[in-house]
Structure 1
Amino acid sequence: MVSISSASWKSLVQELEDLINSPQVLERDLQQFFEQNPEFLCGDAYEEARPHVVLQREGNGPLIPDFALKPSNSNALCDLLELKLPKARLLRISKNRVRLTSAIMEACAQLREYQSYFEDHEKRISVERMYGLRFFRPRMMVLIGKRSDYEATALRNAETDVPNLQIVTYDDILERARSRMRRR
Structure 2
Amino acid sequence: MSRIEGRLAKTLLSKPTVVTRAVFWRIPHNSGIEDICLKIGRYKKSAYFSVGEDLETLQPKSELTLVQEEFRALIEFLQESYEPFRQGVKAFIPLEQPFHNENAKQIRALFSLPNKLGLIQFILDNDVIPEELMSGLNQARRVRAVLELQDMLNKNLKESPWQKWFQENSWVLGSQFVRVLEERQIDTQHISDFLMETYDGFLDVVEIKRPEGGMNFWSQTLDHGNHVPSVELTKAITQASRYIYEIEREANSVKFQQRLGGVRTVKPRCVLVFGRSNVWDDEQTEAYRILNSSFHNLTILTYDHVLERARSICGL
TM-score tier by shorter-chain length is 0.7 to 0.9
Which has the larger Rg? 2
Whether contact under 8 Å (1:31, 1:66) holds in the other structure is yes
The change in CA–CA distance for 1:62 and 1:72 in structure 2 (over 3 A counts) is: same
Q: Deviations over 1:10-39 (max 9, x none)?
A: 2211111111221x2111110011122332
Q: Deviations over 1:32-74 (max 9, x none)?
A: 1112233233x21110123651123xxxx33110011211123
Q: Deviations over 1:58-100 (max 9, x none)?
A: xxx33110011211123xx221111012243211242722111
The Cα RMSD (Å) is: 2.5
Question: Which one-letter code corresponds to 1:109 in the other structure?
Answer: T
In 2, Cα distance between equivalents of 1:67 and 1:21: 24
Confirm whether residue 135 of structure 1 aligns to residue 265 of structure 2: yes
Is the deviation greater in 152-161 or in 167-176? Answer: 152-161
Confirm whether residue 89 of structure 1 aligns to residue 194 of structure 2: no
The corresponding residue for 2:230 is 101
Residue 121 of structure 1 and its aligned partner are, at CA, apart by 5.1
Whether contact under 8 Å (1:117, 1:123) holds in the other structure is no
The corresponding residue for 2:309 is 176
The corresponding residue for 1:166 is 299
The change in CA–CA distance for 1:161 and 1:99 in structure 2 (over 3 A counts) is: farther
The change in CA–CA distance for 1:98 and 1:135 in structure 2 (over 3 A counts) is: same
In 2, Cα distance between equivalents of 1:67 and 1:6: 24
Residue 153 of structure 1 and its aligned partner are, at CA, apart by 0.8
State the TM-score, normalizing by the size of structure 1: 0.80
The corresponding residue for 1:50 is 181
User: Residue 65 of structure 1 is aligned with which of 192, 208, 212?
Assistant: 192
The answer for unaligned runs of 5 or more in structure 1 is: none
Secondary structure of the structure 2 residue equivalent to 1:80: strand
Residue 122 of structure 1 and its aligned partner are, at CA, apart by 5.9
The change in CA–CA distance for 1:29 and 1:168 in structure 2 (over 3 A counts) is: same
User: Residue 33 of structure 1 is aligned with which of 165, 183, 186?
Assistant: 165
The change in CA–CA distance for 1:124 and 1:104 in structure 2 (over 3 A counts) is: farther
The corresponding residue for 1:78 is 203
State the TM-score, normalizing by the size of structure 2: 0.49
Residue 105 of structure 1 and its aligned partner are, at CA, apart by 1.1
In 2, Cα distance between equivalents of 1:171 and 1:51: 27
In 2, Cα distance between equivalents of 1:174 and 1:107: 20
Indicate the structure whose relative CO is greater, using CA pairs within 8 Å and at least 6 residues apart. Answer: 1
In 2, Cα distance between equivalents of 1:179 and 1:54: 32
In 1, Cα distance between equivalents of 2:176 and 2:274: 19
In 2, Cα distance between equivalents of 1:107 and 1:39: 22
Whether contact under 8 Å (1:91, 1:158) holds in the other structure is no
Secondary structure of the structure 1 residue equivalent to 2:179: strand
The answer for unaligned runs of 5 or more in structure 2 is: 1-133
In 1, Cα distance between equivalents of 2:230 and 2:291: 10
The corresponding residue for 2:143 is 10
Secondary structure of the structure 2 residue equivalent to 1:9: helix
In 2, Cα distance between equivalents of 1:149 and 1:69: 30
The change in CA–CA distance for 1:158 and 1:37 in structure 2 (over 3 A counts) is: closer
User: Residue 112 of structure 1 is aligned with which of 231, 234, 241?
Assistant: 241
Secondary structure of the structure 1 residue equivalent to 2:265: coil
In 1, Cα distance between equivalents of 2:161 and 2:234: 22
